[in-house]
Amino acid sequence: MATAPAPPPLKFTGSKYLVQRLVLATLTGRTIRISQIRSSSHTAPGLAAHEVSFLRLLEAITNGSQIEFSYTGTTVLYKPGLITGSAAGYGAQGGVIRHELPAECRRGVGYFLVPLCLLAPFSKAQVNVIFTGPGVITSSTESGDVSVDTVRTAILPLLRSFGIENNLELRLLRRSNTGKDGRGGGGEVQLVFGHQVRLPKTIHLMDAGRIKRIRGVAYSTGVAGANNARLIEAARGVLNEFSPDIYVFSDVSSAPFVPAPTRDNPSAKKKTGLGFGLSLVAETNTNMLYSADVASPPAGGEAPEELGRKCAFQLLEAIEQGGCVSAVAAPTMLTLMALGSEDVGRITISKSVLGSEQVVQLARDLRFFGFSGWGLRDGDEEDEVVVSVVGKGVGNVGRKIT
C-alpha cells in the first residue's frame, strides 16, 4: 500500500497556547511547527523550563514522537507519535512513568495534569505517571495554574459525562506549595488514568442547575495547621450566606525535603514549598462544577483570612458567570467534544467564558487542525450561549491509521 506523503506541518507562532496546540497535534497526529517562541524577550528567549518539561512528558507517553528544537529554542518542530501511555517497554518502569520536573519549573503540576487528562483517554494502554522531583508544585500558583485538588475534584469528574469514569485516580503523595522566588516545590503526584475510550460520548449539557453543595480542601505544608482553620472560616464567612451545605477538608503536612547540595555538604537537603492554600468546588444538582483556587504567594505577606475571602469571591464570580462549565474547565470540555463521534454535541456556556481570548483561540486552533467550526445560538438564560460542536470522530482510531 502506497502511503500518501505526510501533510506539511501546521505552523504556529508564539509561546501562548503552546500546550493546547501540542495536545491537539498529538491527538490528530499532525506535525506542527511553532516558531517565534519568546523571540522578542531579551532575558529568557525560547522555551521555558515548564514547556520543555511538557514536551518531555509528551515524548514519554507517546511512541515515535520526534521533537526538534532550533538552536535558540525559539522554534520547535513536533511530529507526534502514537499515545502509548505507560505500556511496558516504552520507558515505563513497572507500568509507571516517573516524570521529573526541574527545580526551575515555575508552573504548578496542574499545568501538566490538565492536558494529560485530555490525552490519556486516547492512549493505547493505561496512563500512570508520577510527577516527582524538585519542581513539582501541587498547590495553585500565581501564574494561574489550578491546584491538584481542583484537578481531582473539578476536572476529572467532568470526564464522566464523556463516558470516561473508571479507574481514574489522582494521588497526592506529597504536597507542596510554591518554593522560594516562585520556583519549584518538591511535591509528588501520581495520576492513574485507566479508562481508555474509542470515542468520547456526545454530550448535551443544557441545564446548569443550582448549587447544592460546596466542598473544598484547605492545605498547609510546613506551616501551622491553624492557617487552614483561618482559611476555612474566612471562606465560610462569605459563602454561608448562600449555601448551608459547605464542607472543607483540612490537610496539614510537613514541607518536602529536597536535595540542596552545597560545596562543603554535598548531601545537604532543605525544606521548600512552604505555604497554604484553598481549593473550593461548588456542585449543582445537575452535576456541573465551578471551582476556585488560591494559594499563599511565595513572598508571603497575605493573611489566610484574606486568601480565604478571595477564594470565596472567585467561586461566587464563577457561579455568577453561569453556564455548564466554568472558565477553568471550558477548554477541556470543548476539546473533548470536538474529538467525539460525528454527531452534534451541545453545551451551554456563559458569554463571559465564551468571550475569553483563550476560548476564541481554541475555536480557531481547532478549525486550523481540521475540526469543524462551532455553532452558536442564544441560550435560555440571558447571558448564556449554546455552543454546538460537531465531533470529528478522531478518537482512538485516527492515530492508528497514520
Partner 1 sequence: AHTMHGRKQPYRVAELARLMYDDMLSTAEVLRRWKGEEVEAEHDGADDEAQEDELFQRRKAVGDDDEDRIIPKLDYSALEAKWTDEENVEALRHRFASARLTGANGE
**Which residues in this chain contact partner 1 in the complex, by CB under 8 A?**
14-20, 38, 40, 110-111, 114, 140, 143-146, 209-212, 238, 241-245, 284-286, 293, 309-310, 312-314, 316-317, 319-320, 322, 327-328, 351, 354-358, 360-361, 363-364, 367, 373-378, 383, 385
* Contact in structure between 180 and 154 (CB atoms under 8 Å): no
Nearest distance from C-beta of residue 363 to partner 1, angstroms: 5
Cβ proximity to partner 1: between 64 and 373 the closer is: 373
Cβ proximity to partner 1: between 155 and 258 the closer is: 155
Rounded to the nearest 5°, which phi and psi values hold at 230?
-70, -40
Nearest distance from C-beta of residue 48 to partner 1, angstroms: 9
Cβ proximity to partner 1: between 41 and 167 the closer is: 41
User: In one letter, which amino acid is 281?
Assistant: V
Cβ proximity to partner 1: between 263 and 377 the closer is: 377
* Contact in structure between 102 and 53 (CB atoms under 8 Å): yes
Residue whose cell numbers read 555538604: 265
Cβ proximity to partner 1: between 92 and 328 the closer is: 328
Nearest distance from C-beta of residue 319 to partner 1, angstroms: 6
Nearest distance from C-beta of residue 259 to partner 1, angstroms: 28
Nearest distance from C-beta of residue 352 to partner 1, angstroms: 9
The three three-digit cell numbers of residue 299, written as one number: 513572598
Nearest distance from C-beta of residue 164 to partner 1, angstroms: 20
Helices (H), 42-198: 49-61, 110-119, 148-150
Nearest distance from C-beta of residue 285 to partner 1, angstroms: 3
Nearest to 122 by CA among 64, 154, 81, 92: 81
In the chain, what is the greatest distance between 2 CA atoms, to the nearest angstrom?
68
* Contact in structure between 42 and 72 (CB atoms under 8 Å): no
Beta strands, E only, 222-360: 246-253, 257-259, 269-271, 275-284, 289-295, 344-350
370 to 94, 147, 161, 366, 378: CA distances (angstroms):
37, 32, 24, 7, 25
Rounded to the nearest 5°, which phi and psi values hold at 19?
-65, -45
User: What distance in Å separates the CA atoms of residue 402 and residue 396, rounded to the nearest whole number?
Assistant: 11
Cβ proximity to partner 1: between 111 and 131 the closer is: 111
| Side-chain-side CA neighbours of residue 158 (13 Å) | 27
Cβ proximity to partner 1: between 107 and 124 the closer is: 107
Q: What is the number of H-type helices and E-type strands within the chain?
A: 10, 20
Cβ proximity to partner 1: between 92 and 386 the closer is: 386
Strands 211-221 and 246-253: parallel
Nearest distance from C-beta of residue 143 to partner 1, angstroms: 6
With residue 351 as reference, give the H or E element that holds it. helix 351-354
What residues have CB less than 8 Å from 304, skipping those under 6 apart? 227, 228, 230, 231, 234, 276, 296
Nearest distance from C-beta of residue 213 to partner 1, angstroms: 8
Cβ proximity to partner 1: between 161 and 396 the closer is: 161
DSSP SS3 for 220: strand
Nearest distance from C-beta of residue 271 to partner 1, angstroms: 26
Cβ proximity to partner 1: between 114 and 168 the closer is: 114
Overall residue count recorded for the chain in this entry? 402
